[in-house]
Chains A and B, each alone.
Chain A
Amino acid sequence: MLNVNNLSVSYPDGTEVLRGVSFTLKRRENAALIGANGAGKTSLLLSLSGILGISGGNADACGVALGKQTLGEYRRSIGLVFQNPDDQLFMPSIFEDIAFGPRNLGVPEAEIAPLVQRTLESLGIAHLSARSPLKLSGGEKRLCALATTLAMEPEFLLLDEPTAFLDPKARHNLAGLLNRLPQGKLIATHDLSFARLTCSRVLLLSDGEVSDRGAPTEATLSALERELVGN
């Protein structure tokens, strides 16, 4: 269970992006995080990963609180996939990049190669293993970024705009994959039909607060769309 209680987040320059966000995410549950540009979706995911400091409230994942003392343990259960895959890939080859996280978690060297291979295969990108992230297409980078997080086997996945850069087929495959993966997922997206394909619940972020809009039925989504467009 990922519990978020009355979470507030401000940027150093004083911008208050989140003012008391509360929700829970169960294991094996996919929730969509919808909100206008600049609503604070990325900020929420960053703070839930312990990258952006919180100024109030609390959060815990599988019973481990988000806080300075327990950050290492807390992060083990959270996997963040960045909005921009270039921020996530930093090693000279995709193989090394995917191996980076498990190595830090202390996975024995003998198990690294099979683990990387398995992860790549589950995403259908085994052929990219030896490539440099500098020479991949946007969509390929996106899948590799997802692979680096999946290889750490987190309990919860936080995905920031996962469909950006994907072609229709890759988008379709990603939806299938997200439905198959056992982790609980919070998916920040502007793609309402993708939310419909993958999520059982919609969370709307606006004015620094999250409200639960229930299941993504046709009626809910078209009401949401009207609300976001502003008429």
Chain B
Amino acid sequence: MHKAIRELHQLENLAAKGTVIHRLPPAVKLVCTLVYVIAVAALGRYSFYVLTPFVLYPCILMALAELPYALLLKRLAIALPFALFGAVSSLIFDPHGVLAALTILLKTYLCVMAALILVATTCFTEISRTLRRMRVPKIFVVTLELTYRYIGVLLEEAHSMRTAYLLRSGTKTRNLEMMHMGSFLGQLVLRSFDRAERIYAAMKCRGY
């Protein structure tokens, strides 16, 4: 849990560097990422070979922006289960299963990498400000900003509950026991709802 918070901050800290890529206008990076992701996603389901040159994009950008490959790769792992699910089902149901599965995996890799690179080279405030300037409807921008904030709040809430739990758990284990997991998660959801409700109240107070 603690690690998750620290990693969230790590990715954010990467955005504070000053390489060529970091200094590009955020609008340019945003549009490039969008075009790239749409292009990758639009290619056919057996387009594995056509896709290979696309690998250059993340490679070149990561080198220029001096991003640590290991950190981004770990982040990538979050998307892995979804991609694997898609890959396995096409292995079973598709006549050209292997090619389709490889295409799905590569597409996921490329799209997630592009998004991660954007986040790691542009600070979040810049992204949302650019979206606002590009006349993206306010409701989308605010939702994005709130989601980002809530992930932090949820992690912090979980972290402080875990600390409180461990301080009084008496045993030497560093993790929650399974028997307490249920009430822990239930309480986490309740606390997060509560927090969400109060934050919504704060928004209403400020004319939302």
**Are the CB atoms of B125 and A95 closer together than 8 Å?**
yes
* Bound CA–CA A101/B124 (angstroms): 19
**Are the CB atoms of A90 and B207 closer together than 8 Å?**
no
1/0 contact string of A46-88 vs chain B (CB within 8 Å):
1001110000000000000000000010011011101010111
**Are the CB atoms of B125 and A96 closer together than 8 Å?**
yes
**Are the CB atoms of B202 and A82 closer together than 8 Å?**
yes
Chain A residues near B9 (CB, 8 Å)?
134-135
- The smallest beta-carbon distance between B49 and chain A, in angstroms, is 40
**Are the CB atoms of A90 and B203 closer together than 8 Å?**
yes
Chain A residues near B145 (CB, 8 Å)?
91-92, 96
B198 at the A interface (CB under 8 A)? yes
**Are the CB atoms of A49 and B205 closer together than 8 Å?**
yes
**Are the CB atoms of A88 and B202 closer together than 8 Å?**
yes
A194 at the B interface (CB under 8 A)? no
Nearest residue (CB) in B for A85 is B202
- Tell me the chain A residues, 123-173 only, with Cβ under 8 Å from chain B: 130, 132-135, 148-149, 152
* Bound CA–CA A50/B204 (angstroms): 9
B201 at the A interface (CB under 8 A)? yes
**Are the CB atoms of B153 and A86 closer together than 8 Å?**
yes
* Bound CA–CA A99/B12 (angstroms): 21
1/0 contact string of A91-127 vs chain B (CB within 8 Å):
1110110001100110000000000000000000000
Chain A residues near B207 (CB, 8 Å)?
72, 75-76, 101, 104-105, 152
- The smallest beta-carbon distance between A179 and chain B, in angstroms, is 24
B128 at the A interface (CB under 8 A)? yes
* Bound CA–CA A151/B146 (angstroms): 20
Chain A residues near B66 (CB, 8 Å)?
none
The B contact surface, by secondary structure, is: helix
Chain A residues near B195 (CB, 8 Å)?
86-87
* Bound CA–CA A212/B49 (angstroms): 80
Chain B residues near A49 (CB, 8 Å)?
201, 205
B135 at the A interface (CB under 8 A)? no
- Tell me the chain B residues, 154-199 only, with Cβ under 8 Å from chain A: 156, 195, 198-199
Known: A51-B201, A95-B125, A135-B9. Is A90-B208 also a contact (CB below 8 A)? no
- The smallest beta-carbon distance between B81 and chain A, in angstroms, is 27
**Are the CB atoms of A100 and B206 closer together than 8 Å?**
yes
* Bound CA–CA A86/B150 (angstroms): 11
Q: Which of A50, A79, A86, A104 contacts B208 (CB 8 A)?
A: A104
- The smallest beta-carbon distance between A54 and chain B, in angstroms, is 15
**Are the CB atoms of A79 and B205 closer together than 8 Å?**
yes
Most buried by A among B203, B207, B208: B207
**Are the CB atoms of B124 and A148 closer together than 8 Å?**
no
**Are the CB atoms of B198 and A92 closer together than 8 Å?**
no
Q: Which A residues fall within an 8 A CB radius of B?
A: 46, 49-51, 72, 75-76, 78-80, 82, 84, 86-88, 90-93, 95-96, 100-101, 104-105, 130, 132-135, 148-149, 152
Question: 5 shortest A-B CB distances, which residue pairs?
Answer: A104-B207, A101-B206, A87-B198, A51-B201, A93-B125
Given contacts A87-B202, A90-B199, A104-B208, list 10 more A-B pairs with CB under 8 A.
A75-B205, A75-B207, A87-B198, A92-B128, A100-B203, A134-B9, A134-B149, A134-B156, A148-B206, A149-B205
